[in-house]
Amino acid sequence: MPEYKAPIRDVKFVMQELLACDNLYQRLGYEDASPDMVDAIISEAAKFTEQVIAPINQIGDQQGCTWKDGEVTTPDGFKEAYQQFVDGGWPTLAQNTDFGGQGLPHSLNTAINEFFSAANHSFAMYPGLSHGALATIEAHGSEVQKQTFMPKLVEGAWTGTMCLTEPHCGTDLGMLRTKAELNDDGSYSLTGTKIFISAGEHDLSDNIVHIVIARIPGSPEGSKGISLFIVPKFNVNEQGEILERNAVSCGSIEHKMGINANATCVINFDGAKGYLIGEINRGLNCMFTFMNAARLGVATEGVAAAEASFQGALAYAKDRLQMRSLTGVKNPQGPADPIIVHPDVRRMLLTQKSIAEGGRALIAYLAQLVDIGHASKDAEEIAKAESKLALLTPIAKAFLTEVGLECTGHGVQVFGGHGFIKEWGMEQLMRDTKISCIYEGTTGIQALDLLARKILGSKGEILKPFGSEVTKFCLENAEVDAMQEFIQPIMSFGGDWQKMTQNIGAKAMQNPDEIGAASVDYLMYSGYLTLAYFWAKMVKVSLDKLAQGDDDKAFYQAKIQTARFYFQRILPRAKGHASCVENGADSMMSLDAEDFSF
């Protein structure tokens, strides 16, 4: 099993050197987030991750969760680790001080969430969805609801879930059947079944707060008739004290491909007491608060998977002896050379490294945009941050999970036959990561959101704030000789991106299927280009540090070399996606459904 080490040096590089988080935190009023405090939190999070969470990852996969009579027991060590997680104050880190949180920046919390996810994906999911539940209640709940539910959720004594999917409907939420009937006391009775509910039942916390979409009788059909409710596992009074068991039960847990230590539940509501959040029939609008928070969390899972797989593959490649280098013996004292000398192994390792580090920069940037939205007093700054978030969230979620999954495949491949064997842990990473491409909106759904709703829906306006930022950076570095190999491709690919967008819009006027046919390739193109921008920024910082004579010379030189690999061997993939977009929908849609056969 690979020994996970939190990438502290690279996280600090991204946060402090690339994105100047210290200046941002002071400007936004995060006075407690001093450089010393940030360093201390990152170091303690790394220690907790390596010593407490990582060691129970493999046993969690082997044992899985156990369901009996509606109750779920988590694997050995999970309950104790979660209590240490709560005792350490980790759930409170970036939460509102009004409800017991520490009020620290979201971007700091995001950095340590990567550690947790990389070390133990299943464990990280138990507290992970509580962030979305908290954001939803804080943004849309009544004052009574906030005071009742938020303190315990912030503390981590209670956890939260998101209950959307039903047996007959997944993405098409307008088809839901769960109903909510008004009670005399103003609460609602919810009846229905939800499936695929992550952390829907477990033995880690005292209560579980379900955020549930349902339809009130008489509401419009489809998505316009959806309302949102808080439904606790145990009923509570307004002081947040636990009362009797609510009519909520776990019917079963799924037997899955991966994340075996996280309980994925069928949850039955049999007249369960719930409380309306926000306005009637505006539930889907409120739920987007939860989903957007969750999508950034899932994007982080893609980066975490790439990092964890890279660490395992790198250690193995340095140790495993196979064949001799074609350019001469590199290990004369041994019977063969370590496989890291072979170009194809380098290809896989550098792919993992470039995706993990480039993705980390993108995630940290998005998390800082969340900080701006939460704490800035400048309306124009907030509007630009929200526009960039709206554009980049579907790209980050879909692109980083797809390439993150690819990186776990490279991890298995570097190990060869050993990678296929459970004891090494590489195949677990691959199994655990696949779900990240699916939940919180599949890659196809994210692509449609990006292209149809965001870009074409805004007539391209949503592209302008981020596009202006990229253009400004390129122009500022247009005369820097050492930056030319990075600036010129960004400008070229960026120009093609704009033309592609216009061409899809024109084709869609004649055939709306052109949007769906182009969307995933368009998103992947956008992802490769976006990461190229962040790699170019990292090169600029590294060049400046080297010019200043910084002692960490090897680190910055490795950044530049990895960027060069990304631009020469990864970014060109975008051209293939562009060709697919250009070829249109005809080959995809011309075959009649009846003619699909086997």
Active-site amino acid positions: 440
Can you tell me the distance from the alpha carbon of 147 to that of 142, in angstroms, rounded to the nearest whole number?
9
Six-digit token string for 14: 């991204």
Are 53 and 119 in contact, with CB atoms under 8 Å apart? yes
Can you tell me the distance from the alpha carbon of 120 to that of 308, in angstroms, rounded to the nearest whole number?
10
Q: Work out whether strand 71-73 and strand 264-277 pair parallel, antiparallel, or are unpaired.
A: unpaired
Can you tell me the distance from the alpha carbon of 460 to that of 450, in angstroms, rounded to the nearest whole number?
11
Can you tell me the distance from the alpha carbon of 525 to that of 94, in angstroms, rounded to the nearest whole number?
33
Element (H, E) at 195: strand 188-198
Amino acid at 591: L
Are 23 and 119 in contact, with CB atoms under 8 Å apart? no
Six-digit token string for 451: 């292209």
Nearest residue to 297 via CA among 113, 170, 448, 505:
113
Are 236 and 242 in contact, with CB atoms under 8 Å apart? yes
Helix (H, G, I), strand (E, B) or coil at 184: coil
Measured N-to-C along each axis, helices 121-140 and 283-319 cross at an angle, to the nearest 10 degrees, of: 160
Q: Would you list the DSSP string of 224-258? A: GG-EEEEEESEEE-TT--EEEEPSEEEEEE---SS
Q: What is the dihedral of CA 194, 196, 197, 200, to 10 degrees?
A: 100
Taking CA atoms, 442 is separated from 18, 176, 343, 436, 439, in Å, by 31, 19, 34, 8, 6
Can you tell me the distance from the alpha carbon of 412 to that of 132, in angstroms, rounded to the nearest whole number?
33
